[in-house]
Amino acid sequence: MMKNTIAILGCGWLGWPLAKTLIKDGFKIHGSTTSKEKLTSLSEDGIHPFTITLSEDAIEGDIEGFLSNVDTLIINVPPKLRGDHKENYIIKMGLLNAAVKSSNVKKVVFVSSTSVYGDVDGDVTEKTTPVPVTESGRQLLDSENIFREDSSLKVTIVRFGGLLGPERHPVTMLSGKKNLSNGNFPINLIHLNDCIKIISEILKNNWWNETINGVYPSHPTKQKYYTSKAIEKGLQIPEYETNTLKIGKIVSSYILTNSKDFKFTTTL
């Protein structure tokens, strides 16, 4: 049954538990990894595993098999812009889009980030025009548009805030740091459980041709939030400075909470 097969490009921190949830919901899952070592573990979790690596020159691996008999593709690979091997994400997404065009895929969920909104101050909704200031934000926005502008596909973009969950919390990286900027700025975070729930609901309810923000609706300041989390986890408190010129952005999951009646489940 084609409509029951979903391909997840990027079975990592989010993609793997998402795959396990969707299998419980009755979907058959093709999952990709860049690491051959993960193939057995993915298989043990009921995922049909593929080794797929995107580069600027080509897609390495059995992309045809990965997309074969697949109705919906979930793209969950972030831009790789750190370190020596910086790659042009837009070119890679163009290659992926070409592969999708020669497959039977009809629907795409593209996992993006609220970084596309850039340094705006105040309230941000899905109607806010993105003005990214980071290279990864710019490349994500251009890549969103590659798929959004493909009229042969139904595409929903999900822009997640900062991710946290089991063994992943931003405070562990910030602990003990001094002179951190923008302590007065609000947090825009989301828990893994809610990321999975949002993508599951998109699939279940056919929320297609949408752009959706995924950010938990609680926005204490960075200083207040990370101080309390550091104390809770027994870590050194990060020290922030206040930005006297800007107030930072509050990203609202407006569509989820107002037109989709979505309920977030996991507090920060």
**Domain extents in the chain:** 2-163+190-216+249-259
Tell me which residues of the chain have a pLDDT lower than 50.
1-2
| pLDDT in the model for residue 2 | 47
Helix 135-148 vs helix 89-101: angle between axes, to the nearest 10 degrees?
20
Task: Say which residues have a Cβ less than 8 Å from residue 83's Cβ, sequence separation at least 6.
Answer: none
Mean pLDDT of the chain: 95
> Left (φ > 0), alpha (ψ -120 to 50) or beta: where does 105 sit?
beta
| pLDDT tens readout for residues 32-44 | 999 999 999 999 9
Q: Where are the beta strands (DSSP E) in 87-238?
A: 107-113, 122-124, 154-160, 162-164, 189-191, 211-214
- How large is the angle between the packed helices 15-24 and 192-205, nearest 10 degrees? 50
Domain 2-163+190-216+249-259: which CATH class?
alpha beta
pLDDT at 1: 42
- Label residue 52 left, alpha or beta by phi (over 0 means left) and psi (-120 to 50 means alpha): beta
pTM: 0.95
**Torsion over CA of 113, 114, 117 and 122, rounded to 10 degrees?**
180
End-to-end Cα, the chain, rounded Å: 38
Q: Single out the residue of 149, 209, 217, 231 nearest to residue 189, CA to CA.
A: 217
d(CA 187, CA 190): 10
Contact 63, 77 (CB under 8 A): no
